[in-house]
Structure formats: structure tokens, C-alpha cells
């Protein structure tokens, strides 16, 4: 299997002059189709299975195409996502294999998925996809939307191998969907209750959304309680039970099997210290009073910066740059030292605080710039709730060859 993969890579690098990792593919660039070996016949899985009489007349060699197909899937399931665009340059059958989603299905079943960071930084019209080490990157195509969408705030979340970006166009609130298999953006499907400034979190191929600001028939904004779920496999939205509180500018996460929505502001603009947890089995919400009672609030601050690692909920306190961990039983937060970024520079805005595997990831402006130019700093740590000061490791020379602003507009983590 490894030799087949090596042969595949050698053929690509030798015979096809294609962009390196770290460059963007655009639809206008010419594609060079190659024929590598013979084309194995990929079976049509939609056909009815043959009858017993047909099976008796088959030769053992008839199973070879199916075997080749399964081997190909197993090989490519072990290849980095940054290499997948090359499949489109091989031949139509390999391109169809990628578009079928079978590779990513096998990745999930074999436990081969890896985290990728997707970011939109200030001044950049395109999202950037970066691997866990922050060494390799890839620019996504530009979203074919209008000027209103690009000038307004947007929110981002991943569901399976899809990146969902929600924002407001001239006519309405829209959802743009980037599919990793297709390497392109598609509009829709729209939310059942279109809204912005909601709390959200993803789990596998599902993404949950709650609260936010919706617009009434007359165009007036309204803070809502509605919640819904998106499924990436079916590309459909489903309404779920609404929350107890109206809230906007809240944050969401999955903690111990439940969808949590934390903080935010109510319809009067008052900061909410309560949280809510959603039980999908019961389709009901539980209100958690005073969940953020010890947290300092400032006017116009960002939604709570939260992340979950090993079923522990962590919060980056933007006013003090402190890391805290939540005690579910005591409904209280414990301090875990200072985080090495300037989260308080813009009241929490412009900072990315995410979980990436068993680590916490924070991206922002370094508190100790090495020059007068502000630079993007990337730090990770393996958090421990029982240690007062965490050990943060800086990622040196991250994303060499790409200029990224130190101010992060959107950031999410995709497992693919």
C-alpha cells in the first residue's frame, strides 16, 4: 500500500507541473489530465446486487475492479488533505472517487482524520486552510458573493468536510458552503430561521446554532431563542427546541455530550451571566444560572472565548488575558495563569481561541513583539486543570510564504 502511494506521488511530481502546497488553485488555471496506468472500473453501488445464478457464472477475476477500488480508497484515506487536489489531475475516475466522499468516510471509520485550521484574517478576501503544525497551508477560492457580504461581519463553523460561512448579502442572510471534496463554494441551503450573531458548535457532521439576531418582515432586528441543526451529509436543516433566554453574541461548544450556549446579551443589550445546555435525546434545554458570575464584562466586548479539551471547558478571559477552567459540579471557574497573546487589545475581538486535538490553540498579537511591526503569534499548550501555570509553546516560522494579518476575523477547526 505504501509503495502504491509512493508511485502515485512520483507520477504526479514527475509528469504534471502543478501548484505547490501554499498556492491557490483558481478555476481559470488550465488542468492537465493524466492517465496513470490502466483505469480500474469503479462499480456502480446503486445497481441491484446480482442473483445467485449470476454469481455462479462469475469468474474470480470479476472481483478485481472492486478490490482495486477498495485499495485506492484505503491508500488515499492516508494521504494529507493538501494532496487531494491532485486527484482531479489524474483522470475522471480518480476525480469521481474524491467527489463521492468515500475517502473521508473511510478516514472517519479508521480514525485517520486530522485537524485543519481555517482562518479569515483582516485584509484577506480568501480563507486560509492550515495544517496542525502550521507549516503547510492552502488558500481557498474567493466566495462569489456581493460587496455587502464582504463588508459585513461573518461567522464560520465546520461540519464534517464542509466549511459554513454565514453573513448578510444585500437581499438577505445567506449561507455559503465550501466542500473540501469539490474545492469550491456553493450557496445554501438557507437556515430555517436565518440569523447572525448566534452561538454555535459542531460535532462530527452536525452543526448546532442557537439564538442570534433575526430580521422580521419589516426588516427590524430581533434577538431570538430559536435553535436548529445542520447535517453535512444530507445538507439539510432541522429545527430543535428553543432556548429559555433570548441571546445574541453568545458562544457555543460541545461538553460531555451536550450542546452549551454561554453568555451573550439579551434583547435589551444586557450581558448574560447564565448559560444553557441542550440534551438532544430529550430535545430540551437546561438553564445554568450564574455560569459567568466571576467573569468581568466590558462594553462591546467579543463573545466568550471558549474551547473544550478532554471534556474540560476552558475560557480565555479577554479583560485580563487569563486562562480559566470550568468546574461543572461547582459551577465555578479556576484560574490557570496568563495566556501569551493580547486578548485585551480589542476586547477579545481579533483573537482565535480553539481546541485542536488534545491542545489549546490561541492566535493573536504577541505581547512582546520583536519589531515595531505587529505580527501574528501562534501558541499551543496541553492544558491541565490541576496546574496553576500552563506551558505555552510558540509556533515558529508559521505559514512561511503567506502574509496573514495578526487580526483574526473568523477561525474554526475542521477534522478531515
Domain count, the chain: 3
Contacts of 273 (CB under 8 A, 6+ apart): 263, 289, 290, 291, 292, 293, 295
Give the separation between CA 342 and CA 375, rounded to whole angstroms: 11
Domain identity same for 123 and 245:
no
Among 277, 293, 309, the domain-final residue is 293
- Residue positions counted in the chain: 416
| Residue 314 is assigned to a structural domain of this protein | yes
Distance from CA of residue 285 to its chain's centroid?
A: 25
* pLDDT, greater one: 285 or 188: 285
Contacts of 323 (CB under 8 A, 6+ apart): 314, 315, 316, 317, 335, 336, 337, 338, 339, 360, 383, 390
| Phi, psi (rounded to 5 degrees) for 289 | -65, 150
Decide: 197 and 212 in contact? Cβ < 8 Å: yes
Q: Is 35 helix (H, G, I), strand (E, B) or coil?
A: coil
> The domain containing residue 245 runs over which residues?
144-293
Distance from CA of residue 154 to its chain's centroid?
A: 14
Secondary structure letter of residue 265 according to DSSP: B
The mean pLDDT value of the chain amounts to 83
* pLDDT, greater one: 146 or 66: 146
**pLDDT tops 80 at residue 50:** no
Confidence of residue 117 (pLDDT cuts 50, 70, 90): very high
- Closest by Cα among 364, 359, 355 to 412: 355
Domain identity same for 224 and 306:
no
| Residue 136 is assigned to a structural domain of this protein | no
- Start-to-end C-alpha separation, the chain: 21
Confidence of residue 10 (pLDDT cuts 50, 70, 90): very low
Confidence of residue 60 (pLDDT cuts 50, 70, 90): very low
Q: Model confidence over 172-205: pLDDT tens digits?
A: 999 999 999 888 999 989 999 999 999 999 999 9
**pLDDT tops 90 at residue 263:** yes
Which of 55-69, 199-213, 376-390, 392-406 is modeled with the greatest confidence? 199-213
Amino acid at each position: 500500500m505504501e509503495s502504491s502511494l509512493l508511485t502515485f506521488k512520483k507520477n504526479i511530481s514527475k509528469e504534471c507541473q502543478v501548484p505547490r502546497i501554499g498556492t491557490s488553485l483558481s478555476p481559470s488555471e488550465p488542468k492537465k489530465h493524466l492517465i496513470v496506468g490502466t483505469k480500474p472500473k469503479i462499480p456502480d453501488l446503486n445497481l441491484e446486487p446480482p442473483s445467485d445464478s449470476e454469481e455462479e457464472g462469475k469468474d474470480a477475476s470479476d472481483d478485481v475492479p472492486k478490490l482495486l477500488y477498495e485499495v485506492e480508497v484505503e491508500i488515499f484515506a492516508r494521504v494529507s488533505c493538501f494532496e487531494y487536489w491532485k486527484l482531479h489531475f489524474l483522470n475522471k475516475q480518480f476525480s469521481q472517487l474524491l467527489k463521492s466522499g468515500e475517502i473521508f468516510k473511510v478516514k472517519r471509520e479508521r480514525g485517520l482524520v486530522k485537524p485543519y485550521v481555517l482562518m479569515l484574517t483582516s485584509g484577506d478576501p480568501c480563507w486560509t486552510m492550515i495544517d496542525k503544525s502550521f507549516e503547510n497551508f492552502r488558500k481557498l477560492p474567493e466566495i462569489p458573493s456581493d460587496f455587502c457580504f464582504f463588508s459585513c461581519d461573518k461567522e464560520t463553523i465546520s461540519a464534517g468536510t464542509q466549511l459554513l460561512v454565514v453573513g448578510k448579502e444585500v437581499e438577505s442572510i445567506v449561507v455559503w458552503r465550501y466542500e473540501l471534496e469539490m474545492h469550491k463554494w456553493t450557496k445554501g441551503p438557507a437556515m430555517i430561521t436565518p440569523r447572525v450573531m448566534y452561538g454555535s458548535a459542531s460535532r462530527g457532521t452536525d452543526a448546532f446554532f442557537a439564538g442570534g439576531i433575526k430580521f422580521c418582515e419589516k426588516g427590524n432586528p430581533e434577538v431570538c431563542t430559536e435553535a436548529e441543526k445542520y447535517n453535512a451529509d444530507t445538507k439539510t436543516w432541522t429545527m430543535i427546541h428553543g432556548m429559555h433566554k433570548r441571546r445574541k453574541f453568545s458562544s457555543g461548544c460541545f461538553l460531555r455530550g451536550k450542546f452549551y450556549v454561554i453568555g451573550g446579551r439579551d434583547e435589551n443589550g444586557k450581558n448574560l451571566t447564565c448559560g444553557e445546555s441542550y440534551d438532544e435525546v430529550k430535545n430540551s434545554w437546561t438553564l445554568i444560572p450564574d455560569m459567568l458570575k466571576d467573569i468581568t464584562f466590558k462594553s462591546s466586548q467579543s463573545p466568550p472565548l471558549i474551547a473544550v479539551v478532554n471534556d474540560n471547558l476552558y475560557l480565555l478571559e479577554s479583560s485580563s488575558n487569563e486562562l480559566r477552567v470550568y468546574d461543572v459540579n461547582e459551577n465555578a471557574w479556576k484560574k490557570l495563569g496568563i495566556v501569551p497573546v493580547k486578548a485585551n487589545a480589542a476586547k477579545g475581538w481579533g483573537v482565535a481561541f480553539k481546541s485542536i486535538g488534545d491542545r489549546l490553540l490561541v492566535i493573536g498579537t504577541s505581547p512582546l513583539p520583536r519589531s515595531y511591526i505587529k505580527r501574528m503569534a501562534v501558541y499551543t499548550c496541553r492544558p491541565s486543570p490541576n496546574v496553576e501555570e500552563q506551558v505555552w509553546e510558540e509556533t515558529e516560522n508559521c505559514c512561511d510564504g503567506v502574509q496573514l494579518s495578526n487580526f483574526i476575523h473568523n477561525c474554526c477547526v475542521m477534522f478531515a
